[in-house]
Amino acid sequence: MSGSRLRPRLNVFRSLNHIYAQIVDDTTGETIVAASSCDKEVRGALKKNGGNVAAAKSVGQALAARAKTAGIARVVFDRGGYAYHGRVKALAETARQAGLEF
């Protein structure tokens, strides 16, 4: 799976305590926008750590907002081998609701 300039790849990585998402243009190998539960604006909205569904929703919302400002509307979703449930699903559905199309 790879992304292009017209439709970059939304990559998700989750650890025990945090969740990370980035939109990557694989033709140039550069990250266009990124968001994680470690970011100050996302961390301020969280009550506990970044390893829960609420944190994933906040990251999805922040990523979609940053993608809109960068002019990105359509992406290819790369769940990174993780099952599509829990935090990964929450991030994806929130990003869709915020305007990303995949």
User: CATH no. for residue 93?
Assistant: 3.30.420.100
In a domain, residue 49? The reply is: yes
- As a whole-number percent, the residues of the chain with pLDDT over 90 amount to 80
> pTM value?
0.92
pLDDT score recorded for residue 22: 97
The total of structural domains in the chain comes to 1
**Residue 3 pLDDT exceeds 90:** no
Strands (E), 1-100: 9-14, 19-25, 30-36, 76-78
In a domain, residue 2? The reply is: no
14: left (phi over 0), alpha (psi -120 to 50) or beta: beta
In a domain, residue 1? The reply is: no
Q: Which residues contact 14 (CB under 8 A, 6 or more apart)?
A: 20, 51, 56, 80, 82, 87, 88
**Residue 95 pLDDT exceeds 80:** yes
By the 8 A CB rule, do 66 and 33 touch?
yes
pLDDT score recorded for residue 12: 98
Summarised one tens digit per residue, pLDDT across range 40-70 is 888 887 777 778 999 999 999 999 999 999 9
In a domain, residue 75? The reply is: yes
Q: Which domain holds residue 73?
A: 9-97
In a domain, residue 3? The reply is: no
Mean pLDDT score of the chain? 93
Q: What share of the chain is helix, strand, coil (3-state, %, to 5)?
A: 35, 25, 40
pLDDT score recorded for residue 44: 80
Q: Quote the CA–CA distance of 30 and 88 in Å, as a whole number.
A: 22
In a domain, residue 62? The reply is: yes
